[in-house]
Amino acid sequence: MIEPKAYVKDLFRTMPRQRSGYLRMDMNESVDGLPADFIRKTLNKVDPEFIAKYPEYDSLVKKIAEHDKINPENIALANGSDAAIKNIFDAYISAGDKVLVTDPTFAMYPIYCKMFSANAILVGYRRDLEFPYDNFIDKLSDGIKMAVVVNPNNPAGSVMDRQSLLLMIKKAEEKEILLIIDEAYFYYYPETMIGEVKNHRNLIVLRTFSKLCGMAAVRLGYAAAHPDIVETLRRVRPTFDINGLAVLLAEELLDHSEVIAQAVETFNCGKRYLIKKLLASGIKYREGRANFVLVDCGERADEVIKSLAEKKILLHDRFKQDFLKDYLRVSVGSEKVMVRFWDVFHSIWEGK
């Protein structure tokens, strides 16, 4: 038998489960998706030539740059932001390099550390689920090659303010550390550091179209950074790894800002409904600033997950960290979606 690389044997990867027919509240993508009429109108532009030719990216890059108020040369497209992360590791991280990350963080960062034989330096989150700023910045020292901040964090939902991030960027720059600020939950939390990529050569800001923009199936994300970093990332990615349908949908979405604005309002209505119900029922929760709410189910967490699944509602499995193990992460959708969730959840909670 031809053996794979040694690290592959020890690399644990979960397999996505079958989710069709379920209410998807487990993976933090959009629960409602884009409006059906928007999708239909966009797909009407797909013809045989569109399918037959390789995709073109210049127009999308310009639209993203205009949307984010940066320059086209600051944009590196990717096949989802997880692919952007892999491109960064491929371009900059060698065996033995130290990568500073929080615990918890987006799962792909520790996975890529293992894939590229890097040493993940973990800084545990505070028990109040706030970012461990002092401990993290203390470790931004000589010997660290790259540091990662997910803002807002998944699964804590916490954020760091702009001034704290600017101080972190400055210290990382002084120490010649590449700093990633992962803004996967932009729009839910509209504060951003993306404009700073024009001022700092060590900063990468990540974005995705898989969350509020409802495009998880077609895979599209990007890294915003200094042009030298963008060119480096271009060299390690496949030539046509972003498919044409993703490009078309993203261009149409950026041309119709009202669709994005409506998605934000729809989300906010759903979140307000859930918070109101939790408060009225006396159930502890953490609201956070991402697209989910953490609901404290205590020792009943496993029971609730199982019972919801039996009613065709999927939630994420329990977290391994002690200070998170009692929380269930509930991805938030429209008020209609949250009514459906609450009716089932509350009946389980009350033992009915």
Same-domain check for residues 313 and 167? no
Please tell me the predicted confidence (pLDDT) of residue 352.
67
For helices 81-92 and 108-115, give the axis angle rounded to 10 degrees: 30
Same-domain check for residues 239 and 271? no
Q: Which of 240, 256, 272 is the last residue of a domain?
A: 256
Q: Identify the segments of the chain with pLDDT beneath 70.
A: 352
Please tell me the predicted confidence (pLDDT) of residue 16.
79
d(CA 116, CA 98): 11
Same-domain check for residues 61 and 150? yes
Cα angle, residue 261 at apex, residues 257 and 263 outer, rounded to 5°: 115
> Does residue 343 sit within a domain?
yes
Q: Which of 203, 226, 256 is the last residue of a domain?
A: 256
| Average pLDDT value over all residues in the chain | 96
Nearest alpha-carbon partner for 84 in 194, 254, 186, 219: 219
Residue for token pair 């939902």: 157
CATH assignment of the domain containing 230: 3.40.640.10
Same-domain check for residues 63 and 172? yes
CATH assignment of the domain containing 12: 3.90.1150.10
> Does residue 301 sit within a domain?
yes
Q: What is the pLDDT of residues 275-306, one digit of tens each?
A: 999 999 999 999 999 999 999 999 999 999 99
Cα angle, residue 260 at apex, residues 258 and 264 outer, rounded to 5°: 115
> Does residue 41 sit within a domain?
no
Same-domain check for residues 264 and 252? no
Same-domain check for residues 188 and 54? yes
| Structural domain that includes position 223 | 47-256
CB under 8 Å to 231, separation ≥6 — which residues?
A: none
Same-domain check for residues 75 and 110? yes
> Does residue 245 sit within a domain?
yes
Same-domain check for residues 221 and 286? no
Which DSSP state fits 300? G
Same-domain check for residues 243 and 297? no
Same-domain check for residues 151 and 198? yes
* Rg value, the chain, Cα: 21
The domain total for the chain is 2
Instruction: Name the H helices within the chain.
Output: 6-9, 36-43, 48-52, 58-68, 81-92, 108-115, 133-138, 162-174, 227-236, 244-255, 257-281, 301-310, 335-349
Please tell me the predicted confidence (pLDDT) of residue 249.
98
Please tell me the predicted confidence (pLDDT) of residue 12.
80
The one-letter code for the residue type at 59 is: S
